[in-house]
């Protein structure tokens, strides 16, 4: 969501005002609340952990640990946009917390803020030259010849050369230079270094997909998914691949397993909703989205998809209402205005469509 860049400060303000405005537990209870939050976090009960970490912040608005854990929870739940304000606060409170800052860089690149992600990754590597997540973000954010050259220079300083991260970053740069064979060689080296690296298997799947080799793409995606935790992009990508290649039943089963084990993981519900839309099961698709809205009613990507389902269903009035509310929350956002124009056109309101466009 590159076009939501200007909305992030607004989200941060609203978020922190909400935290500060709530009544605060007694200071003596803070340690017990934090211990309880950590237990929930360790057991994967993220919804409960989120509540307790927010309780910690009501007692201590400078608690970097609580901000970090909340940022990680939102990221692990598949909502990097919501993770960013918490991770930005960690950077402010604990600038040497490079693990949290690497998650910030990852979150930024996921929502399309490539330049900001690259800036954050470079800042991390200047102080923590061996940070694996940062070097991968730097490579993945390289577009121009100058950026690729700068990243290659930074990669030469990377101290952990016998790791999957080094070779995956090299593969990413090779792809950006159009060297598919070189990228494949680097991913193979990554797999030799770390045969159980789910990221390396996912990268190899991408290579095979570019080569139009669907059988090997499927095998590598399955390997990545088998190595990945329940909340993971690898499992979602494997299920999406299954659905796109005729194995809809298997895809649904995979996604239902994810949502059963991790009901707080947004991408699982969203992928199921997308399948339901393709099957023209509009009410089912909208019902699946409620599992996301119960945890984050303002997720912009999911609201846009909800409007798409409503338009397909023929409920243009409600689709317009959804997009107009979204436009008020995230003003001057090109993607939202474009979708709103589509909805106006479907509702036979050409003048408003022209204004939106």
CATH of the domain at 203: 1.25.40.10
pLDDT 10s per residue in the chain (357 long)?
A: 444 444 454 544 444 544 444 545 555 577 899 999 999 999 999 999 999 999 999 989 999 999 999 999 999 999 998 999 999 999 999 999 999 999 999 999 998 899 999 999 999 999 999 999 999 999 999 999 999 999 999 999 999 999 999 999 999 999 999 999 999 999 999 999 999 999 999 999 999 999 999 999 999 999 999 999 999 999 999 999 999 999 999 999 999 999 999 999 999 999 999 999 999 999 999 999 999 999 999 888 999 999 999 999 999 999 999 999 999 988 888 889 999 999 999 888 999 999 988
Q: What is the pTM of this model?
A: 0.87
Residue 277 contacts by C-beta under 8 Å, 6 or more apart in sequence? Answer: 285, 308, 309, 312
CA–CA gap between residue 62 and residue 311 (Å, rounded): 44
Nearest by Cα to 46 from 37, 54, 55: 37
According to the model, what pLDDT value does residue 101 have? 97
Residue 220 lies in a domain: yes
Residue 181 lies in a domain: yes
- Output the CA–CA distances (angstroms, integers) from residue 248 to 167, 243, 275, 285, in the order listed: 34, 4, 8, 15
Residue 188 lies in a domain: yes
- Output the CA–CA distances (angstroms, integers) from residue 230 to 2, 58, 110, 138, 261, in the order listed: 27, 31, 19, 26, 7
Tokens for 276? Answer: 């339901």
According to the model, what pLDDT value does residue 28 have? 58
CA–CA gap between residue 326 and residue 289 (Å, rounded): 16
Residue 208 lies in a domain: yes
Residue 31 lies in a domain: no
Produce one character per residue of 204-233: b if its CB has 16 or more CB atoms within 10 Å, e if not. bbbbbbeeeeeeebbebbbbbbebbeebbb
Residue 79 lies in a domain: no
Task: Quickly list DSSP for 59-100.
Answer: H-TT-HHHHHHHHHHHHHTT-HHHHHHHHHHHHHH-TT-HHH
In this structure, are residues 241 and 221 in contact, taking their beta carbons and an 8 Å threshold?
yes
Domain that holds residue 183: 160-227
Q: How many domains is the chain partitioned into structurally?
A: 1
Residue 305 lies in a domain: no
Residue 97 lies in a domain: no
Nearest by Cα to 139 from 106, 107, 111: 106
């Amino acid at each position: 969501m590159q076009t939501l860049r200007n909305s992030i400060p607004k989200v941060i303000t609203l978020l922190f005002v909400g935290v500060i405005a709530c009544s605060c537990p007694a200071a003596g209870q803070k340690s017990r609340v934090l211990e309880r939050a950590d237990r929930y976090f360790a057991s994967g009960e993220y919804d409960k952990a989120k509540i307790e970490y927010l309780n910690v912040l009501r007692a201590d608005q400078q608690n970097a640990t609580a901000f970090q854990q909340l940022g990680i929870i939102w990221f692990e739940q598949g909502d990097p946009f919501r993770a960013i304000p918490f991770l930005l606060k960690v950077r402010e409170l604990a600038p040497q917390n490079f693990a949290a800052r690497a998650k910030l860089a990852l979150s930024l690149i996921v929502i399309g803020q490539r330049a900001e992600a690259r800036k954050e990754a470079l800042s991390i590597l200047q102080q923590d030259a061996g940070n694996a997540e940062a070097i991968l973000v730097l490579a993945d954010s390289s577009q121009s010849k100058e950026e690729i050259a700068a990243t290659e220079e930074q990669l030469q300083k990377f101290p952990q050369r016998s790791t999957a991260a080094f070779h995956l970053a090299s593969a990413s740069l090779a792809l950006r230079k159009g060297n598919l064979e070189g990228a494949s060689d680097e991913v193979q080296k990554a797999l030799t270094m770390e045969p159980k690296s789910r990221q390396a298997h996912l990268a190899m799947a991408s290579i095979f997909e570019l080569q139009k080799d669907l059988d090997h793409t499927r095998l590598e995606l399955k390997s990545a998914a088998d190595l990945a935790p329940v909340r993971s992009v690898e499992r979602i990508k494997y299920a999406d691949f299954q659905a796109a290649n005729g194995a809809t039943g298997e895809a649904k089963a995979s996604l239902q397993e994810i949502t059963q084990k991790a009901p707080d993981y947004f991408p699982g519900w969203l992928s199921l909703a997308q399948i339901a839309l393709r099957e023209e099961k509009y009410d089912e698709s909208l019902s699946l989205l409620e599992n996301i809205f119960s945890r984050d009613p303002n997720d912009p990507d999911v609201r846009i998809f909800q409007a798409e389902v409503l338009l397909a269903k023929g409920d243009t009035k409600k689709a317009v209402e959804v997009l107009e509310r979204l436009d008020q929350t995230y003003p001057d956002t090109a993607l939202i205005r474009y979708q709103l124009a589509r909805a106006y056109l479907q509702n036979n309101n050409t003048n408003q469509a022209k204004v939106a466009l």
